Amino acid sequence: MSEPIGLNLEVGGDLPASLVPELIQTLKGDLYDINGGPTDVSNVHSLKGPVSWYATSNWGECDDLKIFLRKNYLSYIHKCDASGEYDASVSYWIPGMKAEWVLQGNTNGDVVLAVDAIKPLCDLLLSLAESGPKALPLFIDSKSETVKEIVQKALKTGNHKRIYTSLRKHIEALMPTVPTLPPFRIAR
């Protein structure tokens, strides 16, 4: 059983010319109803910037294609549409990453932030900006375990400057930035 779901795949990086036929074959094996992006070996060489394919695939996935891209150190951003029972997603990988990041998306292909998780961190940050360390006791009984942990550590150590490093780390984890891809180039 399968479900055709739309997707957008953007790719960047350098691919040896000898691997172009394998890229096209893998692309056609995973995707159908392809719009945009090259689907023929002869029209790959004239690309400028990252290349994007808009297509449909089984469950909106393209696992074989992603394996090929990672194996050949090509960066990608994969935006999968939503369907009746599946949420939209945005995933990406760039060389050097241990694993692909998968984030919840919306129907426009934008990343959706977990407001309930990030708001307590922002509240703490704003209170610290307004009142300094004397705001910390106000957050001891926070509903957010992360905020409680940060506050307790700051109060215990008395090192209030490290709290900003900890807040930055937690906020960045909740708000990952989807990378800008390099141009897609065929290396001769």
User: What CATH number did the domain enclosing 17 receive?
Assistant: 3.30.70.1270
Within-domain flag for 9: yes
pTM of the full structure? 0.81
Give the residue numbers spanning the domain of 160. 115-174
3-state secondary structure 36-96: CCCCCHHHCCCCCCCEEEEEEEECCCCHHHHHHHHHCCCEEEEEECCCCCCCCEEEEECCC
Q: Are residues 29 and 107 in the same domain?
A: yes
| 35 contacts 23 by C-beta, under 8 angstroms | no
Q: What is the pLDDT of residue 1?
A: 57
User: Count of domains in the chain?
Assistant: 2
In-domain check, residue 180: no
Residue ranges of the chain with per-residue pLDDT less than 50: none
Q: Which single residue is written with the structure tokens 């800008």?
A: 180
pLDDT computed for residue 87 by the predictor: 87
Question: From residue 149, how far is each of 73, 116, 118, 120, 124 by CA, in Å?
Answer: 38, 17, 15, 12, 12
**188: in domain:** no
Report the pLDDT value the prediction gives residue 55, as an integer from 0 to 100: 96
Task: Say what the pLDDT of residue 56 is.
Answer: 95
Contact 11, 60 (CB under 8 A): no
**Looking at the structure, do residues 80 and 92 belong to the same domain, yes or no?**
yes
Do 22 and 70 have their domain in common?
yes
